[in-house]
């Protein structure tokens, strides 16, 4: 009976194991200018400010699930709109998910921004 109980506990732990997301230092974002239909792909390092038209984008965190899990990348993003002669206004602050861009989308009349992936720049340097 003890042997059965031990095997039961081990099997429950193995089947219910959840892998945690891994943090990365760069988010791959894509932006669409709805007026010109121009699509831009941007590599944004954590804490750096990137511009798409009148928008300034700052990625605060980028997490990606390990390869053995269902693919998912998510980034915590701040988006500011800067207009000449006016103070910058924060128009988005939150998590964006690569698999569900509409779940937490940036709603702007001119621009769409979404997350494609996360990566580490150090892995690509040779």
- In the chain, % of residues over pLDDT 90: 68
Q: Locate the domains of the chain by residue range.
A: 19-121
Q: 81-125 pLDDT, tens per residue?
A: 999 999 999 999 999 999 998 888 888 999 999 999 999 986 554
pLDDT of residue 102: 86
pLDDT digits (tens, 9 = 90+) for 61-89: 999 999 888 889 999 999 999 999 999 99
Q: What is the per-residue pLDDT for 39?
A: 95
* Run of H or E including 6: helix 2-15
Q: Share the mean pLDDT of the chain.
A: 86
pLDDT at 126: 41
């Amino acid at each position: 009976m003890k042997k059965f109980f031990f095997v039961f506990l081990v099997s429950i732990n193995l089947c219910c194991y959840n892998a945690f997301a891994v943090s990365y230092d760069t988010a791959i974002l894509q932006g669409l200018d709805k007026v010109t239909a121009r699509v831009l792909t941007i590599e944004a390092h954590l804490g750096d400010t990137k511009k798409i038209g009148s928008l300034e984008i700052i990625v605060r965190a980028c997490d990606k699930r390990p390869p053995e899990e269902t693919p998912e990348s998510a980034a915590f993003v701040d988006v500011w709109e800067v207009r000449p002669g006016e103070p910058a206004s924060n128009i988005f602050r939150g998590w964006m998910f690569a698999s569900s861009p509409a779940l937490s989308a940036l709603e702007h009349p001119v621009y769409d921004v979404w997350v494609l992936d996360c990566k580490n720049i150090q892995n690509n340097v040779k």
